[in-house]
Amino acid sequence: MFNNFIRNQFVKFLIVGFVNAIFGYGIFSFFILVGMHYSLAALFGTILGVLFNFRTISAVVFNSRNNWLIIKFAGVYVIIYLLNLIGLYIFKLFFINVYIAGAILILPMAIISYMLNKKFVFNVDEEISVFGLWLKKTIVNLSNYHSYFIWFLYSLCAAVLIVEIAAFNISPLNFHHIYGEGLAGGGRDFSTFYFAGYRLRTVNEFYVVKNYNEFLPEEHERGISRFIYPPLLAFIFVPLSFLSLHVAFTWYSYLILIIFGASIFLATHFIVDKILARLVIGAIFLLSPIIWMHLAHGQTDILVLFCLALAFYFLSKYNSKSAGFFIGIAALLKLTPVIFIPYLYLKNKKAFWISVLTLIFGSLLLGVDRLFKFVDNLSSFSGTWATSSIFNNGLMGIFYNRLTRSIMSFSTSRSVYSILILLSVIFFFLALYRRIKINKTSTDEFFVLAEFAIFTSLMILIPSVSLIYNGVHLLFLLLTWWWLRERKIFSLKKQFFLDMLIFLIFSQPLLISWFQTIPGSLFFVFRPIYILIFLFIIFKEYSKKTYEQRS
């Protein structure tokens, strides 16, 4: 039995890989020890490892004597090097020692290396593995319903991150000098949540501080920031406040990435090729400034997104009570999801009443006095400014431009903008009401998806203060784009236009410094308009399918 175990090809690969890993890790550690940057240490370790590993793997594992295979073998290690480099960088962001990070990556890199070598280099097994079947299916699917441009788009996304890492120009991704301290400083917004939780468990007050001396000593060090968020967030951060600020922020960042992955998993439950969709959608987000700025600030939008993803999942599965409950929780975490409550009244009365009851009982449990303090703090904060830059998601930032500034004050512009938005939302709900009456009994999940795409987009478009990290809610917009592509709804020209809109909305090039200044930034100033155009296309397709349903 032991002999059979030893003869197993993958086991032999692991044993030989262990010897090779000791050699490669030893070289890597030596170069780090002499002061070389981790990316160069990984590069030279990989080059020397290729020469050493080729002989051991080809002879012992795959019984091959063909020395020309070293070219393919080296190609595999180029892929392993890039994956290893990205892995080291991600660990570095979370303050994990580079020696420990290198050790953690050994096993996953070994598994990937084995699969690539078996399939593409030595190819001793003629039978197609499960991984091979999935890879073949994935390539066929991509060829069938993706234009050549989409390959360019994904490649550019990956190239952006690799170029930035290679240039050692990420700290993180140049955002810390624009909007806060970034990961190295613990995240400006995270500090606000952390100290709100700390104050809640110590002095039971986190909204109103009467004088400067009532702030905690640690808050003076970090920079005092008023808590303007719903009270539920302070309660959520109480457990983290028992840890030091730095440790709490690190663990919170891990948790947020896991929750974001779970949100993608839930939201893609109806997609035909789920694995491919989750990989591509995850990559587009992770190579976008949206997710990086969210991490750098330590924001909470992903917590809200998770509740909305659960609500979407349950609503599409006809579980009204659960859908209403999670919409109510989302509205307790952040004010903007309240826009879903009148939508539920049109879509599903049972879900509507559950969401209302959740909101009422939640407010009573958290304290009505705290709710009033929250509204007072929020109104005094948002009424004084509006976001307007390449990192803006709100339409107010577009409306309050040089022309409007020349003819009216900020307060007047804000009043006019509020009236226009209110009238637009009323008109939209009237139009939506007619369509929901027709399609509410339909089993086609596109209707719920399109509705969530529209309302989550409105959550970030309507507020006067809306920064790029709020863009995590565009998950449903991205899913709608994927759904339309998967079914080849549009012509190649129209699909090319949609691809361009998605690329501009998710703004991958903003990861490069050149695009953060004029003229490069001009492509991304109108992001809210791009979102609005995409919503118009979605609503048009939504209306078309609705009236097809009636006929």
Is residue 532 pLDDT above 60, yes or no?
yes
Is residue 385 pLDDT above 80, yes or no?
no
Residue environment code for 501-526, b if the CB has 16+ CB neighbours within 10 A, otherwise e: bbbbbbbbbbbbeebbeeeebebbbb
Is residue 143 pLDDT above 70, yes or no?
no
Mean per-residue pLDDT for 408-415?
81
More confident residue, 159 or 303: 303
More confident residue, 485 or 342: 342
Is residue 8 pLDDT above 60, yes or no?
no
Looking at residue 187, its pLDDT comes to: 67
Is 408 in the same domain as 538?
A: yes
> In angstroms, rounded to a whole number, what is the distance separating the alpha carbons of residues 440 and 165?
48
Q: How confident is the model at residue 331 (pLDDT cuts 50, 70, 90)?
A: very high
Domain of 9 in residue numbering reads as 2-127
Q: Of 337, 346, 355, which is closest to residue 476 (Cα–Cα)?
A: 337
127, 148, 165 — which closes off a domain?
127
Looking at residue 177, its pLDDT comes to: 37
Residue 58 lies in a domain: yes
Mean per-residue pLDDT for 118-131?
56
Which span out of 29-43, 105-119, 222-236, 349-363 was modeled with the highest average pLDDT? 349-363
pTM of the model: 0.71
- Let me know: does 358 contact 325? Beta carbons within 8 Å: yes
More confident residue, 412 or 401: 412
Residue 154 lies in a domain: no
Is residue 387 pLDDT above 80, yes or no?
no
pLDDT in tens, 273-293: 888 888 888 888 887 888 888
Residue 496 lies in a domain: yes
Is 116 in the same domain as 195?
A: no
Is 325 in the same domain as 473?
A: yes
Is 106 in the same domain as 227?
A: no
pLDDT in tens, 52-88: 777 677 666 666 666 656 767 777 777 777 777 777 7
Q: What are phi and psi of 122, to 5 degrees?
A: -90, -35
127, 146, 167 — which closes off a domain?
127
Looking at residue 450, its pLDDT comes to: 92
Look-up: residue for tokens 């070293």?
70
127, 156, 174 — which closes off a domain?
127
More confident residue, 206 or 151: 206
- Let me know: does 362 contact 232? Beta carbons within 8 Å: yes
Is 89 in the same domain as 206?
A: no
Count of domains observed in the chain = 2
What is the full DSSP assignment across 134-190?
A: HHHHHHHHHHHH--HHHHHHHHHHHHHHHHHHHTT--SSTT-TTTSS--GGGT-HHH
Comparing 11-20, 138-147, 152-161, the range with the smallest average pLDDT is: 138-147
- Let me know: does 336 contact 202? Beta carbons within 8 Å: no
Is 57 in the same domain as 191?
A: no
- Let me know: does 377 contact 226? Beta carbons within 8 Å: yes
Is residue 20 pLDDT above 80, yes or no?
no
- Let me know: does 249 contact 187? Beta carbons within 8 Å: yes
Is residue 394 pLDDT above 70, yes or no?
yes
Is residue 396 pLDDT above 70, yes or no?
yes
Looking at residue 45, its pLDDT comes to: 72
Is residue 15 pLDDT above 50, yes or no?
yes
Comparing 261-265, 312-316, 339-343, 502-506, the range with the smallest average pLDDT is: 502-506
Is 332 in the same domain as 456?
A: yes
Percent of the chain residues past pLDDT 90, beyond the cut: 20
Q: Of 279, 283, 274, which is closest to residue 155 (Cα–Cα)?
A: 283
Residue 187 lies in a domain: yes
Is residue 400 pLDDT above 90, yes or no?
no
Q: What are phi and psi of 262, to 5 degrees?
A: -65, -35
> In angstroms, rounded to a whole number, what is the distance separating the alpha carbons of residues 363 and 531?
33
Q: How confident is the model at residue 133 (pLDDT cuts 50, 70, 90)?
A: low
Mean per-residue pLDDT for 421-432?
88
Is 416 in the same domain as 274?
A: yes
| Chain centroid to CA 9 | 38
Looking at residue 137, its pLDDT comes to: 58
Residue 22 lies in a domain: yes
Is 187 in the same domain as 76?
A: no
Q: How confident is the model at residue 381 (pLDDT cuts 50, 70, 90)?
A: low
Is residue 176 pLDDT above 70, yes or no?
no
Looking at residue 352, its pLDDT comes to: 94
Please name the amino acid found at residue 298. G
Residue 414 lies in a domain: yes
More confident residue, 165 or 403: 403
Looking at residue 180, its pLDDT comes to: 39
pLDDT in tens, 190-226: 888 888 888 888 877 777 654 444 555 555 444 445 7
Is 216 in the same domain as 363?
A: yes
More confident residue, 546 or 344: 344
Is 239 in the same domain as 352?
A: yes
Average pLDDT, the chain: 77
Q: How confident is the model at residue 128 (pLDDT cuts 50, 70, 90)?
A: very low
Looking at residue 172, its pLDDT comes to: 40
Residue 492 lies in a domain: yes
Mean per-residue pLDDT for 424-447?
84
> In angstroms, rounded to a whole number, what is the distance separating the alpha carbons of residues 351 and 88?
45
- The burial class, CB within 10 Å (0-12 / 13-18 / 19+), for 288 is buried
Is 317 in the same domain as 464?
A: yes
- Let me know: does 482 contact 271? Beta carbons within 8 Å: yes
> In angstroms, rounded to a whole number, what is the distance separating the alpha carbons of residues 531 and 454?
10
Looking at residue 1, its pLDDT comes to: 42
Residue 172 lies in a domain: no
pLDDT in tens, 289-313: 888 888 888 899 999 999 999 999 9
Is residue 117 pLDDT above 50, yes or no?
yes
Mean per-residue pLDDT for 419-427?
88
